């Protein structure tokens, strides 16, 4: 971006030249909403309506579940893996689940810790929002602290907006693909974004607001690290905070990962030519696709759970402990004997027998081949959840 003079677009913002041994240009985004306003062509309008309908369908399907928290536990972890893969981590969903069982042989600990922090950050943010705390700069800083705690980036001012220049791509601002606002412009820009989230200067439909906020946050890049992951978290947080989702089941990282180059190109298009319509088209397409995929997955899993429960009920007196374990494995696809004992308050013989009973039924499998430190996997469940996360390099 620094090799040529970028053209200012009032609808996008302005490029400000920074002097020094190697001059470069920073982008300072214009405050939201876009001016002139987003032009909702019939195509974009129709896409928005379909995305909104798909989101409503997803919320309805999830709300009808007996216990949405069971699915949410693993769904959140899938999103954590995908969002972190976009940033280049090598961890898979199995790696994360093994890590949570205190067993992660052969995995990059820094990578899996980063993914684990994403889970913690999402859960922390949801807890704060459920408690009535507003989606604010303060909450963003708190979530950021959780996101970077004890992992790569822990030396990059967790919980603090940056006081120095950062950049994307390249080895320095002078050869970077994109350079966000200079440090002194961060607080004015992020402060204006907070006002927009809260309906100033105008109220914006929730689904559109979430898309605009994500793109603007990425342009501001207010932290030294973790901006992509936190920016993606803002989408479900806004949808939940404004009542568009009862449970935070919409995660767009699979859409962004599968179309990573176009994802970056449309974000850059917002900065270079004010291409908000192109960005929203891509974003809303993702909302529709991911919502429908999530609905299909929830319905598929619900049917599978019913079939497996029926099989367990056929085993007689041993069914009671097996069913308790089955409920745990619906929440945690991978479990060890100590985890089963702790979570269900089972003795070792009871936990072992329950696992062996599920293994005999054919849908639980021991995956280590060891005599000790064994890990059991709810295989068909894990296979469905792993869809899209297989390529750990992202």
Supply the DSSP string of 186-213, one letter for each residue: HHHHHHHHHHHHTT-SS---HHHHHHHH
Percent helix, strand and coil across the chain, each rounded to 5? 60, 5, 35
Divide the 394 residues of the chain into consecutive groups of 10 and give the mean pLDDT of each group: 70 91 94 96 97 94 82 80 80 77 58 83 94 97 93 82 94 94 97 98 96 98 95 95 89 90 96 96 97 90 93 93 94 88 94 94 88 86 80 42
| pLDDT (0 to 100) of residue 2 | 45
Give the span between the Cα atoms of 229 and 289, in whole angstroms: 20
DSSP state of 35: S
CA dihedral 122, 84, 282, 285 (to 10 degrees): -60
Q: Which of 354, 355, 382, 351 has its CA nearest to residue 366?
A: 355
Domains of the chain, start order: 13-296 (1.10.3290.10), 297-385 (1.10.10.10)
The distance of Cα 204 from the centroid of its chain, to the nearest Å, equals 23
- Predicted local distance difference test score (pLDDT) of residue 387: 77
Q: Tell me the sheet residues that pair with 336.
A: 375
- The encoded tokens of residue 342 equal 């702790």
pLDDT, residue 56, reads 94
- pLDDT score of 102: 67
> Which two tokens mark 10?
């009032």
User: What pLDDT shows up at residue 360?
Assistant: 94
Task: Let me know: does 24 contact 175? Beta carbons within 8 Å.
Answer: no
Question: Could you give the CA distance from residue 172 to residue 1 in angstroms, rounded to a whole number?
Answer: 12
CA distance 93 to 389: 7
How far is Cα of residue 145 from the mean position of the Cα atoms in its chain? 16
Q: Take residue 3 and report the two structure tokens written for it.
A: 């090799």
- pTM assigned to the model: 0.90
Q: Contact at 8 Å (CB) between 104 and 112?
A: yes
pLDDT, tens digit, 9 for 90 and up, residues 316-361: 999 999 999 999 998 888 898 888 999 999 999 999 999 999 999 9
d(CA 212, CA 196): 10
Rounded to whole angstroms, how far apart are CA atoms 257 and 391?
10
pLDDT value at residue 110: 66
- What is the predicted pLDDT for the residue at 394? 34
Task: Give the span between the Cα atoms of 180 and 24, in whole angstroms.
Answer: 11
Which run of H or E residues covers position 281? Answer: helix 276-313
Residue 382: in which H helix or E strand, if any? helix 379-385
- Cβ neighbours of residue 282 closer than 8 Å, sequence gap 6 or more: 259, 262, 263, 266
Alpha-carbon gap, residue 376 to 386, rounded angstroms: 16
Q: What pLDDT is attached to residue 128? A: 97
Strand, helix or coil at 70? helix
Beta carbons of 321 and 350 less than 8 angstroms apart: yes
Give the total residue count for the chain: 394
Q: What angle do CA 268, 76, 87 make, to 5 degrees?
A: 35
């Amino acid at each position: 971006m620094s090799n040529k003079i970028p053209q200012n677009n009032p609808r996008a913002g302005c490029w400000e030249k920074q002097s020094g041994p190697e001059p470069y240009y920073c982008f300072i985004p214009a405050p939201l909403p876009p001016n002139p306003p987003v032009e909702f062509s019939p195509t974009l309008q129709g896409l928005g309506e379909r995305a909104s309908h798909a989101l409503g369908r997803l919320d309805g399907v999830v709300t009808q579940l007996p216990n949405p928290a069971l699915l949410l536990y693993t769904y959140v972890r899938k999103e954590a893996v995908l969002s972190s893969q976009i940033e280049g981590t090598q961890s898979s969903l199995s790696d994360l689940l093994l890590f949570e069982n205190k067993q992660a042989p052969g995995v990059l600990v820094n990578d899996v810790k980063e993914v684990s922090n994403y889970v913690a950050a999402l859960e922390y943010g949801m807890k704060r929002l459920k408690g009535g705390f507003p989606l604010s700069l303060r909450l963003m800083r708190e979530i950021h602290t959780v996101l970077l705690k004890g992992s790569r980036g822990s030396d990059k001012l967790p919980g603090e907006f940056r006081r120095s220049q950062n950049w994307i791509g390249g080895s320095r601002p002078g050869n970077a693909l994109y350079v966000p606002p200079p440090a002194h412009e961060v607080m004015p820009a992020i402060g204006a974004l907070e006002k927009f989230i809260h309906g100033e200067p105008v109220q914006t439909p929730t689904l559109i607001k979430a898309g605009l906020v994500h793109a603007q946050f990425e342009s501001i890049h207010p932290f030294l690290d973790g901006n992509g992951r936190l920016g993606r978290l803002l989408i479900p947080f806004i949808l939940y905070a404004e009542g568009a989702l009862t449970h935070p089941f919409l995660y767009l990282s699979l859409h962004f990962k599968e179309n990573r180059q176009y994802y970056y190109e449309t974000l850059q298009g917002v900065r270079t030519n004010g291409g908000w319509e192109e960005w929203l088209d891509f974003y809303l397409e993702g909302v529709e696709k991911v919502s429908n995929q999530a609905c299909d997955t929830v319905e598929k899993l619900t049917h599978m759970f019913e079939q497996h429960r029926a099989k367990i009920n056929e085993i007689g007196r041993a069914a009671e402990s097996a069913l308790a374990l089955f409920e745990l494995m619906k929440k945690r696809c991978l479990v060890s004997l100590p985890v089963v004992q702790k979570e269900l308050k089972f003795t070792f013989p009871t936990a072992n027998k329950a696992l062996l009973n599920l293994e005999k039924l054919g849908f639980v499998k021991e995956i280590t081949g060891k005599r000790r430190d064994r890990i059991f996997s709810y295989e068909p469940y894990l296979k469905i959840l792993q869809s899209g996360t297989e390529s750990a390099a992202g």
